[in-house]
Amino acid sequence: MGFRFPRVVGHRGASADAPENTLAAFRLAAEQGAGAIELDAKLSADGVPVVIHDDTLDRTTNGHGDVRAHAFAVLDRIDAGSWFDRCFAGEKLPTLEATLKLCQALGLELNIEIKPCPGRVVETAEKVVADIRRFWPTNRPAPLLSCFDPDGLAAARAADSALPRGFLVNDLDDAAIKTAQRLDCVALHVRHVALDRTGVAAIKEASLVPVAWTVNQPARAVELVAWGVASIISDRPDAIRKALG
């Protein structure tokens, strides 16, 4: 397993303390000592990669409806911060381009989850890879691409096989490990409650890097790392970093 990724990863930034998937959350994750951030990328109606988790705008912005139904010019006017706290009013829905540039400035590594709107799996993977090629320097560790959909990872591999990939799963079984191997993944990202010592060992025996999400209890993070989990994705990177030393 030659691939290495930072031990503490901010889940959608420092999303316990700032509005998720915003530049403010990414800056705060860096301040809290995260070595990387995890974020979600999907496409606007006109194909611009934007950073948002849900298929709809309603939960984390003052907009409404499907992300894929709006051109970027419309999405760019949306407030993505006020829902969390008034002090974040005016925070924008970031583009992947802006996020890549910010992470370079902050010295953060990246885990980009390919999070396509329905019917846009391949297109989303291809656009994400294209932005990485355009806006991420070749002298920095390449962003890690993850996805729940094997087709998204296959499309990312076809677009640029050199970019590292991780298969995202809710539950760990032999099929998940075999799928990650078939897709030439370097990592297997598992929901932390599905992991135990035996499962972590099985991932490592398959020459995959174990990554756990979303871990917000410091004691659980310490346990997972003791079992051999390489990276902890957390809404609370400050607390996890302190617990792990």
Mean pLDDT of the region 49-73:
98
Q: What is the fold, at CATH topology level, of the domain defined by 8-56+94-244?
A: TIM Barrel (3.20.20)
Active site residue 70: no
pLDDT of residue 36: 98
Q: Which of 11, 70, 189, 192 is catalytic?
A: 11
Mean pLDDT of the region 126-147:
97
Active site residue 11: yes
Q: pLDDT tens digits for 162-193?
A: 999 999 999 999 999 999 999 999 999 999 99
Residues 6+ apart with CB under 8 A from 108: 26, 29, 30, 34, 35, 36, 37, 102
Indicate whether 2 pLDDT > 80.
no
Task: Look over the chain and give the mean of its residue pLDDT values, rounded to a whole number.
Answer: 97
